[in-house]
Amino acid sequence: MSTFPSDLKYAKSHEWARSAPDGTVTVGITDHAQEQLGDIVYIELPVAGRAVKAGESCAVIESVKAASDIYSPVSGTITEVNAELADSPESVNRDAYAGWLFKVQSSDPSELAALLDADGYRASIGE
Amino acid sequence: MLAAIGVAGVEQLFDEIPPELRARPLELPEGLSEMAAARLMAERAEHNRPLLCFTGAGAYDHHIPAAVWEIAQRGEFYSSYTPYQAEASQGTLQVLYEYQSMMAGLTGLEVSNGSLYDGASALAEAILMALRINPRKRRILLPRNVHPAYRKVVRTLVSHQQVELIELPFDPAEGRLDPAVLGDYEGMEATALVVPQPNFFGVLEEVDALTDWANRNGALAIGLVNPVSLGLLKPPGAWGAEGAALACGDGQPFGAPLNGGGPYFGFLCCRKRDIHQLPGRLVGATVDRDGKPGFTLTLQAREQHIRRAKATSNICTNQGLLATAAAIHLTLLGPEGLRRTALQCHGQTRKLAARLSRIAGVEPLFTGPYFHEWAYRLNRPAGGVLDRLMAEGLLAGCELSRDYPQLGSAILTCATETRDDADIEAYAVALERALAS
Per-residue pLDDT tens over the stretch B151-161: 999 999 998 89
Please tell me which residue, B303 or B230, carries the higher pLDDT value: B230
Q: Alpha-carbon Rg of chain B, whole angstroms?
A: 24
- Stretch (H or E) spanning A79: strand A76-81
Helix, strand, coil fractions of chain A, as percent rounded to 5:
20, 35, 45
CB-CB contact of B109 with B347 (8 Å): no
Please, what CATH class does the domain formed by B66-329 belong to? alpha beta
Over range B376-383, report the average pLDDT.
95
CATH of the domain at A40: 2.40.50.100
Q: Do A69 and B310 touch (CB under 8 A)?
A: yes
Q: Within 13 Å and on the Cβ side, how many CA atoms surround B212?
A: 9
Q: Give the integer Cα–Cα distance in Å for A106 and B173.
A: 58
Mean pLDDT calculated for residue range A23-34: 96
Angstrom CA distances, B433 to A65, B249, B393, B411, B421, stand at 67, 37, 14, 17, 18
Q: How far apart are CA B309 and CA B187, in angstroms?
A: 33
Q: Quick: pLDDT tens for A74-118.
A: 999 999 999 999 889 999 999 999 999 999 999 998 999 999 999
pLDDT digits (tens, 9 = 90+) for B264-290: 999 999 999 999 899 999 999 999 999
For residue A2, being part of any structural domain is answered with no
Residue A67 contacts B, CB cutoff 8 Å:
yes
The count of residues in chain A is 127
Domain ranges of chain B: 52-62+334-436, 66-329
How far apart (Å, rounded) are the C-alpha atoms in residues B299 and B51?
45
User: Cα dihedral sign for B44, B49, B53, B54?
Assistant: negative
pLDDT of residue B163: 95
Judged against a pLDDT cut of 80, whether residue A53 lies above it is answered with: yes
Q: Domain limits at A64?
A: 13-121
Instruction: Identify the residue with better confidence: B245 or B21.
Output: B245
Whole-angstrom distance, CA of residue A9 vs CA of residue A30: 10
Mean of the pLDDT values across residues B414-427?
98
Beta strands in B266-322 (DSSP E): 266-270, 283-287, 293-297
Render pLDDT for B7-22 as a digit per residue (tens, 0 to 9). 999 889 988 899 888 8
At B49 the three-state DSSP class reads coil
Half-sphere exposure of B225 (CA within 13 A, CB side): 28
Domains B52-62+334-436 and B66-329 equal at CATH topology level: no
B23-74: per-residue pLDDT in tens? 888 899 999 999 999 999 999 999 988 899 999 999 999 999 999 999 999 9
Assign B422 a pLDDT band (cuts: 50, 70, 90).
very high
Nearest C-alpha in A relative to B305: A66
- Measured in angstroms, the CA of B307 and the nearest CA of chain A are apart by 6
Chain B touched by A63 (CB under 8 Å) = yes
Which residues of chain B neighbour A44 with C-beta distances below 8 Å? 276
Q: How many CA atoms within 13 Å lie on the side-chain side of B217? A: 24
Chain B residues within 8 angstroms (CB to CB) of chain A? 276, 299, 301-302, 306-307, 310
Q: What is the crossing angle of helices B119-133 and B148-158, to 10°?
A: 50
In this prediction the pTM is: 0.89
pLDDT at B92: 93
Query: How close is the nearest chain A Cα to the Cα of B296, in Å?
Result: 13
pLDDT tens-place string over residues B96-114 = 999 999 999 999 999 999 9
**Separation of alpha carbons B368 and B414, rounded Å:** 15
- The candidate with the shortest Cα–Cα distance to B227, out of B62, B5, B408, is B62
* C-alpha–C-alpha distance, residues B421 and B428, integer Å: 11
Contacts by A110-113, CB closer than 8 A, 24 or more apart: A111/A54, A111/A73, A111/A74, A111/A75, A112/A9, A112/A17, A112/A19, A112/A25, A112/A73, A112/A74
Q: Average pLDDT of chain B?
A: 94
Residue B401 has pLDDT above 80, yes or no: yes
Indicate whether this complex's ipTM tops 0.95.
no
Nearest Cα to Cα of residue B204 among B329, B398, B400, B349? B349
Task: Please say whether the structural domain B52-62+334-436 has been given the CATH code 3.90.1150.10.
Answer: yes
User: Which chain A residue is nearest to residue B273, measuring alpha carbons?
Assistant: A86
Angle at B285 between CA B281 and CA B290, to 5 degrees: 130
Please choose, from the candidates B325, B344, B317, the residue with its C-alpha nearest in 3D space to the C-alpha of residue B253. Answer: B325
The per-residue pLDDT for B316 is 64
Q: What is the pLDDT of residue A48?
A: 92
- Band (B260; pLDDT cuts 50, 70, 90): confident
Report pLDDT for B308: 73
Q: What residues of B are in contact with residue A60 (Cβ under 8 Å)?
A: 310
Is the pLDDT assigned to residue A127 strictly greater than 90?
Answer: no
pLDDT range class, residue A123, cuts 50, 70, 90: very high
Mutation site for B-interface testing, chosen from A45, A58, A62 by largest number of B Cβ within 10 Å: A62
Any domain includes A1: no
Confidence of residue B168 (pLDDT cuts 50, 70, 90): very high
How many domains does chain A contain in total? 1
Please give, rounded to a whole number of angstroms, the shortest distance from the CA of B249 to a CA of chain A. Answer: 28
